[in-house]
Amino acid sequence: MKHRSALHKDANRAVLALVALTAIYGLTAVMARYFSDATSIFEQWYIRFFWAAVIMSLVFRHHLRFQRLKTVSRYELWLAILRGFIALVLGAGLYAWSAQHAKLGIVTVMQVVPTTALLGMWLLGERLNRLKTTCIVLSFIGAVVIISPGADDWSKLGWGAVASLFSGGLFSLSFVLRKKQTGELNNYELAFITTLVGMIGNYILSIAFNHRLLPSLSHFSLGLHWLFVGAGLLSVGMSLLASYGFEHIKATVASVILDLEIVFGVVFGYLFYREALSFRDWMGAVLVLLAAVMMSYLDGRDSKKLNTVSS
């Protein structure tokens, strides 16, 4: 069993891992714009996951114990497969559908509903005090301030909004279920399995919706090929950071940190597309950042108190 100080360090690293994860999420939205002219949404995902699987198998080959898959328990293996299917196939598919059937502002609002915290309380028995609840509410308000859907958007709530809400819930469920993994498979193996499931699932969806086995190569350039490789590398980081982060941190804490994706999205939008940052954007970003810092501090303080009592 790890020493309590080591566990505290793991928790701190997990917070940093999730912050880095949200930065990748924000950058992913930017890269999707470059891919949209040449490929469909599902084609983007399975090509990225293909390169991610290739990179993992080469760079982390010493951490991937393929023979281990023959002896690992069915529970551990099928839970990893289920998590990949829930998030990278169902979640991604519903998100893609919702983006086509609802206003972007409403789609994004539904994504920041604190389903991760709610599932953490329901499935893992995590508890919230008033201060932590305040952090979750503050983070959600900050995200909504940045997104700021108009009255016209709210008047057109429909199945697209419902699909986006379910999509966010499915991603959250996959994250929370990471806590249920037994430890028989390491983070590299879990990330590799979920990536393979995402690649196969999105390839099947691509065939079903696009009616072609492979994307048209007429729009592919050498630069786009390398951009897909870079996106695959980011997907590697995304899978590993999520697996490590949710192994060592509470879902209720992670729920607030994940809202930083909205902040990074605004920043990257300015850096790459020179999208103007309004006063509303700054105010929302400050609220989300304040909530994330407060939640991390409160969780660290509670952990220290628990360690003091236990010792």
Q: What share of the chain is helix, strand, coil (3-state, %, to 5)?
A: 80, 0, 20
Query: What pLDDT is recorded for position 153?
Result: 53
Q: What is the DSSP letter of 160?
A: H
Average model confidence (pLDDT) for the chain?
A: 84
203-208 average pLDDT score: 93
Helix/strand/coil for 106: helix
Q: How many residues are there in the chain?
A: 311
Residue 171, pLDDT score: 92
| Nearest C-alpha neighbor of 169 from the set 97, 260, 236, 94 | 94
pLDDT at 5: 59
Q: Is the pLDDT of residue 117 over 80?
A: yes
Question: What are the tens digits of pLDDT across the range 68-90?
Answer: 888 999 999 999 999 999 999 99
Provide the pLDDT confidence category of residue 198 given band limits of 50, 70 and 90: very high
